[in-house]
Structure 1
Amino acid sequence: MELELRHARIVSTIAETGSISRAAGWLNLPQPSLTTQLRRIEKMLGGDLFVRSRAGVVPTSLGNVLIPMMTRLVEQADEVRGAAATYAESTLRFGNTEWTPPTLLGAIRDAVPSADVETETLAPAAAVEAIRRGSLTVAMIACSKTVTPELVQQPELDSTVIVQEPILLAVSMRHSLAGRPFVETAQLADLDWVRYSGNHWFHEVERHVLAQLGQGELKALHYVDGYQEAMSWVKDANAVALTPPTGATREVKLVPIREPHSIEMMLVWRRGAVAKDTLHRLVEAVRRYHYKYVRTLSGYWRWIKEYPVVNEPGRFLPVPSPAA
């Protein structure tokens, strides 16, 4: 028996998950089968790579030497596949949780000028599934730590955080809360609400946030299918809605809620599907775009700077340097 790439992937996945049962799920293998394969690999390498316990696994002294080498082997193989895929595929298919503005499309095209760029708007779960199938190259999805993290915790996927955004209250410019530094949780029940329908990805995030704030039964004037519709109701009906800053329009005012919540905008791709240098350019282009965009939002930077009681230092990430 000779060491093969699949053996290295088994070992690196077990090390990454810290559990044979969890690694079996990631690799889509029965746990007994994975255990048998690991024993064969360890026999071939001349010793145990992991110490097993009820809490999981930890590397042995031999594992501490060999596991990093096997992990690098897997990473290099993925890079080879990514470079080959990029060379062979002339179209980059970019998925987005919300619609992709022409300015963002232009930034992506500038980052990967050799590829034709196509964009598609998909809910987070649908975008991740499209990446797994290969019908999308990369996707930017909104990921709440309490709602959708499992979407990207799959062995064939990689991801990186583009920006971490606070969830704020959108009000009209004439609303009584528009001039407030923040809104107290107790005030939320007395407001006229616009909420997100079950068809929109933000529905689950909104539902969780309101439940955490003790406002899970709030009634709504109207249920919307997207940010733009929500902001229109906020502006014209003097209603309120939850939104991250990038979901707001310039016609509304953003007011922080005393108890902070946030979402992460993550770029997700399938391992080995994108060349490393292409991925680097793409990530930096999307981060730069978001950095420039949030700078145009009235009050956002002032709120980040002036309200440390609400905004814990370092909690939210506009991400690139100001020079970007």
Structure 2
Amino acid sequence: MVMELRHLRYFVTLAEEGHFGRAAERLHIVQPTLSMQIRDLERELGGPLFVRTSRSVELTEAGEVLLVEARRTLAQAAHAQAAVESSLRGETGIVRVGFAGVAVLIGKLTDDLRAFHVAHPDAVLELYEMAPSEQGSALLAGELDVGYSPSYGFDFDPELERARIGDWPLVVALAADHPLARGRSISLSDLADEPLIVYASGQADDSTLTALRQRTGSEPHVAHRVSSTLSVLALAAAGLGLALVPQPTTQVSIPNVTYRPTREEPMAADLVLVSRPNDSNGAVRAFLALARG
């Protein structure tokens, strides 16, 4: 016989009750079964654990030693079970989140972080600002668990899962003293002759360039390609070009930058949540369920 946790539970219960009948009742088993299990345990350990009388049982010296160790073992087993169950529920563990800056400006990322922390205060969140082109390889390498990225510039490997978690209209960001800032809105056709600042990641340009070509029938004049929202706004503030940015970006107050909607139906920017399928980390699964919801 191999000593199992149930044998230790039987032994501890009998030691605490000092009576086979009461111990069997507490364990919800019949008394002969308990007697047999205790005899098997004594046989395996090589000696008696109890002194039996007609009315009660008392621990031997060896039984006293086992009682201390058995309680310690059962407590550790209960702790291990609770820790694993907590991890599977996503209550503990680490979630490594990669994000493009626009995810912060839009507010979706910060909303998700706040909600997850409230629901799982013992889980650890690690944040890494990362270009879209880098998030895919980091996810596949196991360096990230979740990625927040616009779909442009992201190398969507078929091994990764993605979920669209939002889209927002684009507005024009430009210097406050630019002539086009005098109006309440800007026509897309007005952008045809203006130097543009576009998002770029690696070799991938912002997908709005394709949309602009279709809307205006002309080739946009790209003056600057940058990989971050703050860089876009800095160049716009300096008067070095105009940029199409997600509408929530207007909440960012940058000196000498103003925002104008387009007169036509606005183009849209999206945000996608990227992850590995069937992640075994309970905290990651809980975070993904919250973010997708």
Partner of 1:93: 96
- Residues 175, 238 of structure 1: 8 Å contact kept: no
Opposite residue 254 of structure 1, the aligned amino acid is: R
Partner of 1:10: none
- Residues 194, 230 of structure 1: 8 Å contact kept: yes
1:38-53 aligned at under 5 Å gives the runs: none
Partner of 1:272: 278
1:91: how far off? 1.4
SS at match of 1:183: coil
Kindly indicate whether residue 139 of structure 2 is the aligned counterpart of residue 137 of structure 1.
Answer: no
Return the match for 2:268 from 239, 262, 266. Answer: 262
Partner of 1:169: 172
Return the match for 1:119 from 113, 127, 130. Answer: 127
Partner of 2:245: 243
Partner of 1:13: none
From the superposition, tell whether residues 211 and 85 of structure 1 become closer, same or farther in structure 2 (CA, over 3 Å): farther
- Residues 90, 116 of structure 1: 8 Å contact kept: yes
Opposite residue 170 of structure 2, the aligned amino acid is: I
Q: Distance in 2 between matches of 1:85 and 1:174?
A: 56
- How large is the Cα RMSD of the aligned pairs? 3.7
Opposite residue 231 of structure 1, the aligned amino acid is: L
Return the match for 1:183 from 163, 181, 186. Answer: 186
Return the match for 2:210 from 197, 208, 211. Answer: 208
Kindly indicate whether residue 290 of structure 2 is the aligned counterpart of residue 281 of structure 1.
Answer: yes
Opposite residue 271 of structure 2, the aligned amino acid is: M
1:138: how far off? 0.9
TM-score by length of 2: 0.54
Between Structure 1 and Structure 2, how many residues are aligned? 196
- Residues 183, 257 of structure 1: 8 Å contact kept: yes
Opposite residue 210 of structure 1, the aligned amino acid is: L
- Residues 143, 265 of structure 1: 8 Å contact kept: yes
1:167: how far off? 2.5
Q: Distance in 2 between matches of 1:197 and 1:179?
A: 29
Question: Could you report, residue by residue, the CA deviation over 1:35-75 in whole angstroms, capped at 9, with x for unpaired residues?
Answer: xxxxxxxxxxxxxxxxxxxxxxxxxxxxxxxxxxxxxxxxx
- Residues 92, 120 of structure 2: 8 Å contact kept: no
Q: Distance in 2 between matches of 1:239 and 1:193?
A: 5
1:143: how far off? 1.6
Partner of 1:67: none
Partner of 1:253: 259
From the superposition, tell whether residues 278 and 235 of structure 1 become closer, same or farther in structure 2 (CA, over 3 Å): closer
Q: Distance in 2 between matches of 1:159 and 1:196?
A: 21
TM-score by length of 1: 0.49
- Residues 171, 255 of structure 1: 8 Å contact kept: no
- Residues 200, 225 of structure 1: 8 Å contact kept: no
- Residues 93, 124 of structure 2: 8 Å contact kept: yes
Question: Could you report, residue by residue, the CA deviation over 1:130-179 in whole angstroms, capped at 9, with x for unpaired residues?
Answer: 223322111111125xx76x716x3x443332211223221233333335
Q: Distance in 1 between matches of 2:133 and 2:148?
A: 11
From the superposition, tell whether residues 225 and 218 of structure 1 become closer, same or farther in structure 2 (CA, over 3 Å): same
Partner of 2:50: none
Partner of 1:228: 230
SS at match of 1:174: coil
Partner of 1:23: none
Question: Could you report, residue by residue, the CA deviation over 1:5-37 in whole angstroms, capped at 9, with x for unpaired residues?
Answer: xxxxxxxxxxxxxxxxxxxxxxxxxxxxxxxxx
Partner of 2:161: 158
1:257: how far off? 5.5
Question: Could you report, residue by residue, the CA deviation over 1:152-208 in whole angstroms, capped at 9, with x for unpaired residues?
Answer: 6x3x4433322112232212333333354543332212324334455486x332432
- Structure with bigger gyration radius: 2
- Residues 92, 117 of structure 1: 8 Å contact kept: yes
Q: Distance in 2 between matches of 1:224 and 1:237?
A: 15
- Residues 97, 128 of structure 2: 8 Å contact kept: yes
The alignment-based identity, stated in percent, is 20
- Residues 162, 265 of structure 1: 8 Å contact kept: yes
Opposite residue 136 of structure 1, the aligned amino acid is: L
